Structure formats: C-alpha cells, structure tokens
Amino acid sequence: MNGFVHTRVHDFIKPKLGGRSLSDDDDIFALGYVNSLFAVQLVRFIQREFDFELTSEDMDFDNFRTVDRIVRLIDSKTGARTTPEGRL
C-alpha cells in the first residue's frame, strides 16, 4: 500500500469524525459520524488530490467504505505511483 496515499486519505477523513479514532478497516459510513454529503466530498477530494477522474464504474459505494478500500482504489487508478506531490 502506498504510504503517502494512505496518510493523505486518513488525514482527510479524520477531522470529519469529530476527533474520534479511525482504523483502516472501519466502515466510515457505518460508524454514524458522517452523512451522505461526505461521499461527495470524498470523491472530490480524491479526484483533486490525486489528479484523476473516477468513472461511473469506479463509483461502487463499497470502494469508499474504508480507508483500506479507498487507498486500493486510488492505487489501482494511479498505478501505485503517487508521490508526495500527488502526481505520477
């Protein structure tokens, strides 16, 4: 797993949970601390931060449930080559 991607994703989500802890395999939405608007925020963050467009095929809600799954999605789209600058 790309460490940089993991850190950026984790750092994006953590403040939205009001200071609560977050494990990489926690279902973010099932925790009950984020609302349906968060999914849209997450998508926009991913596309902007890692500079690629998600397709309708990618928009399977299961891809966004946990930090692990989000990082896997990003790695699959960027070839796991994302650098600290967020670019290939």
- Among the candidate windows 1-9, 10-18, 70-78, 79-87, which touches another protein by CB under 8 A? 10-18
Interaction mask 17-56, another protein, x per CB under 8 A? -x----------x-----xxx-xxx-xxx-xx-------x
Structure tokens that stand for 59 in this block: 């928009």
Cα first-last separation, the chain: 15
Give the amino acid at 75.
Answer: D
Binding flag, residue 15, another protein (CB under 8 A) = yes
Binding flag, residue 62, another protein (CB under 8 A) = yes
Structure tokens that stand for 80 in this block: 């796991």
Please answer whether residues 59 and 2 qualify as being in contact, where contact means their C-beta atoms are separated by less than 8 angstroms.
Answer: no
Q: Which three-class secondary structure state does DSSP give residue 37?
A: helix
- Interface contacts to another protein, rule CB under 8 A: 15-16, 18, 29, 35-37, 39-41, 43-45, 47-48, 56, 59-62, 64
